[in-house]
Structure 1
């Protein structure tokens, strides 16, 4: 097996002659099917001859560094055209499978490279030890047809997915594009109406669309230096994975498309997200717990704009969230800033938000959120749901410019406890024309509730809230908009309050 691997490595690193290309691939396939060693020796000799007279037709970026002697296979050597019209699925999958064979025989990472071009594809299965190298000026383009995503259930619909893989990832400086606009039934500046592939009953409403990239039950996952754009549904989905790194990734969704999430981290532990740019219609960074707890997530140095929540825990929250850190994040003109929607009985603890700039504004009420810069809720999803709790949250060095105030709402058996605000500046002012005066409990709970005044901080069912060095200001041009309630709470449901260095008053803006 080691000898076979060596020959295949030599062959794919050196063969580029067009006239003998197809014959060599055919003979390699025959060898794998058990043909005599004579054919193998012929392939080897021909490979050696061609290597002496030809240079590589394409070389990937030298900035990509991989452990060991990494093999690189170009998808064009397997027949990919890259014209954006003809499907290259089979050629790409063959390259991935060949790379995986190399990994299993040598334990060395293998790279599948995409030269400049547009590669139309149906669903691809990424394998262990394989790194997709979508190089600069290359685009991996997801197909728009339901037959491009064969599966019994919609949870298996991805353009690229790795299941039970180890040492796997995506990089290269190019783009993976889901052609999200092809799934729009009706374009609408408020919220697009999307296609629904719900013939099997496996999903509901307009959520029956393919995700862009997924890693499921995988270990040692790396995604870096890549653009993920125009997903039809969720963009990057991390499911029950351990040891995942997402860095220097741009996620560009459609601002008017629902369920256009940026990064969904589900039941996964030891995840690091850093230096990412996320501009999308729905939740940008969204940890969830469906089948198990989520521990040790760190997100740093990111820029986010979204029509939903920039960072949101939930709303899927059947298990615990613990040990999460969000640092040096810029949130620009989003519908919500830092959010927790705990609806299913899971508990949240030991979460830090530090060095964060938040700008939140109103958008159409059809989107969840009413411009809350910080939004923490634990009301149960329905009458059969349990009440989870939230404890030990630290917000430190946070600057807020918002059209609405902070909303902290626990529930009778799901209290918010030990919430700390340190070194914060909150500025409340209006600049959009959307209606105000509503409190948003969605999903479930009470829905949208009319509220007479816009308060700086609203609290319900809180046990332990401390403030230190917090300044709250509201615009002096909006006195008719009821900016006159710095704090709103009922003493019967809110206890153990501590305020040190808290100030509030008018913001005198210069003209």
Structure 2
């Protein structure tokens, strides 16, 4: 579909301005010495045989680095370096060579007493830290499986420690907590038992050329979680995992200035998800040139805790979504924008000024836009979109998925765009195509489904909906 010249100009200016806002703090960051000290963990006694723990040798190498660095701690190849938690300090970058692997320990005693510090690699209150080198960090998630289940594996839970509760008491893979100037690049992160790459209360972050590969049947193995952290760039990442792939969260403070570009994602949950931890605001995000394949949900907002969302752009994105087992949140929505209180004690928040432009989607379900009575969706724009709907799995449709909290799973008519509690919606140059094949499990060819009393200020320009036959969309 042709783009309007004025809007294209406005869009280009907006993207450039936002990129400048996001990247400027990184451009002025402290420059590392181009000739850092290099220390090898094998010189400090690491065996790299994958059987004996190399924790003491690795930590001794890190501790031998000069205060504030710069220092490169190298893991030579070939080698499998089994370790309990190791702690980075300022100026230290781990350099895992191609052919070398850092293996996370699987025993409870391998991790600190506090569950908040359960990581294989952890940096706390450090500057100019990171990890790279072309090698691999592996969390050995398979050893945390209590029982394999075709719907969702049952996992180890260390809640008997009292450090945490529920079924998510497992170690994360890599964490940067309270850090400034973080770089994670040219590294493969495999088999996290829980969240994979976690940025917490950190600032000026670059994540580039990172591959994340998690078991598709392991719950909670998120790819990248940006929690209470700001000025983040994610670029050229490949994420293939069971749970949310890129997930900003605001637990203790706002999250702003995040850009993610040129990446590939597959997940049994949401490819990009804002929330569900959303106590504080999200603002100034850009997601551009991203491919989402065979995911349970594409672009998602799960705002449940009172934090507002504004000024978010999704552009040049190809999406394919499909149903998986209902145990996993998501019902194959290519776009999912929701705000509702998690429970009776939660505040209602608004989502405003959201732009979706140049989006192509093949999906088993429609676009779901759901505000709440005191938490409206405002000024949503869908420009230049082509959406194809076709059922091809046997999972049950006809459900609106509000999880977590809110109304849970609700039986409801399915449509191309499902809407409630909206004030300000622009749909321009959007085409919906519907399969007319006989094997469709239910009729669901209604382009729009909404309660008129809750949806106001709607503008449709060049909106088309129709059947197609004898052509199955590529997925």
Q: Give the TM-score taking structure 2 as reference length.
A: 0.91
Match of 2:424 in 1: 464
Equivalent position of 1:358 in the other structure: 319
* In the alignment, structure 1 residue 505 sits paired with structure 2 residue 466: yes
Following superposition of structure 1 onto structure 2, how do residues 16-55 of structure 1 map, counting pairs within 5 Å? none
Find the residue that maps to 2:452 and give its secondary structure: coil
Q: State the shift of 1:510 in Å.
A: 3.7
Kindly indicate whether residue 30 of structure 2 is the aligned counterpart of residue 69 of structure 1. Answer: no
Separation in structure 1 between the aligned mates of residue 339 and residue 126 of structure 2, nearest angstrom: 35
1:93 and 2:59 equivalent?
Answer: yes
Q: Contact 1:183 / 1:232 at 8 angstroms: preserved in 2?
A: yes
Superposed, 1:136-215 pairs within 5 Å as: 136-151=98-113, 153-215=114-176
Task: Show CA shifts across 1:107-148 (max 9, x none).
Answer: x51100001100000001011100100000000000000000
Which of 84, 88, 98 matches 2:50?
A: 84
Structure 1 residues 142-291: aligned runs within 5 Å: 142-151=104-113, 153-291=114-252
Show the counterpart of 1:51: none
Task: Give the drift of 1:508.
Answer: 2.5
Deviation at 1:294, TM superposition (A): 0.3
The residue that corresponds to 1:21 in the other structure is none
Higher RCO by CA contacts (8 Å cutoff, separation 6 or greater): 2
**Within 5 A, what are the aligned runs for 1:103-502?**
103-104=67-68, 108-116=69-77, 117-151=79-113, 153-451=114-412, 453-477=413-437, 481-502=442-463
What CA distance in whole angstroms lies between the structure 2 residues aligned with 1:507 and 1:354?
Answer: 26
Contact conserved, 1:103 with 1:110, CA < 8 A, in 2? no
Structure that is richer in helix per residue:
1
Between the aligned partners of 1:480 and 1:176, the Cα distance in structure 2 is 43
Question: Shift of the alpha carbon at 1:484?
Answer: 2.2
Q: Which runs of no fewer than 5 residues in structure 1 stay unpaired?
A: 1-64
- Decide whether the 8 Å contact of 2:293 with 2:320 is kept in 1: yes
How many matched pairs?
A: 440
Other structure's SS at 1:481 match = coil
3-state SS of the aligned residue for 2:160? coil
Contact 1:330 1:357 (C-alpha < 8 Å) held by counterparts: yes
Q: Distance in 2 between matches of 1:480 and 1:144?
A: 44
Name the SS of the counterpart of 1:206 in structure 2. Answer: coil
Partner of 1:42: none
Q: Is the 8 A contact 1:396 1:422 kept in 2?
A: yes
Cα distance in 1 between the residues matched to 2:320 and 2:421 = 26
- Deviation of residue 454 (structure 1)? 2.0
How does the TM-score come out when normalised to structure 1? 0.85
* 8 A contact 2:32–2:128 mirrored in 1: no
Q: Which digits, 9 at most, give the CA deviation of each residue in 1:223-254, with x for residues without a partner? A: 00000010110000000111000000000001
Q: How far 1:188 moved relative to its partner?
A: 1.4
Task: Look up the match of 1:19.
Answer: none
Q: Tell me the SS of whatever aligns to 1:328.
A: strand
Structure richer in strand, relative to its length: 2
Distance 1:210 1:480, change over 3 A: closer
Shift of 1:155: 1.3
- Give distance in 2, aligned partners of 1:66 and 1:252: 30
Q: Is the 8 A contact 1:344 1:386 kept in 2?
A: yes
Are the equivalent residues in 1 in contact too, given 2:428–2:461 (CA < 8 A)? yes
CA deviations over 1:140-183 (Å, ceiling 9, x no partner): 000000000022x2111000010001000000110000000000
Cα distance in 1 for residues equivalent to 2:269 and 2:103:
26
CA distance in 2, matches of 1:222, 1:214: 12
The offset of 1:103, in angstroms, is 4.0
**SS class of match (1:492):** helix
Residue 167 of structure 2 aligns to a residue in which SS? Answer: helix
Question: SS of the residue aligned with 1:300?
Answer: strand
Q: Is the 8 A contact 1:126 1:163 kept in 2?
A: yes
Displacement after TM superposition at 1:202 (Å) = 2.8
Contact 1:427–1:507 (CA under 8 A) maintained in structure 2:
no
* C-alpha contact (below 8 Å) 2:414/2:449 kept by paired residues: no
Given that residues 284 and 310 in structure 1 are in contact (C-alpha distance below 8 angstroms), is that contact kept between their aligned partners in structure 2?
Answer: yes
Alpha-carbon shift at residue 66 of structure 1 (Å)? 6.2
Cα separation, 1, equivalents of 2:283 and 2:470: 41
What is the deviation of 1:213? 0.1
Q: Distance in 1 between matches of 2:269 and 2:210?
A: 20
1:67, distance to aligned residue in structure 2 (A): 3.2
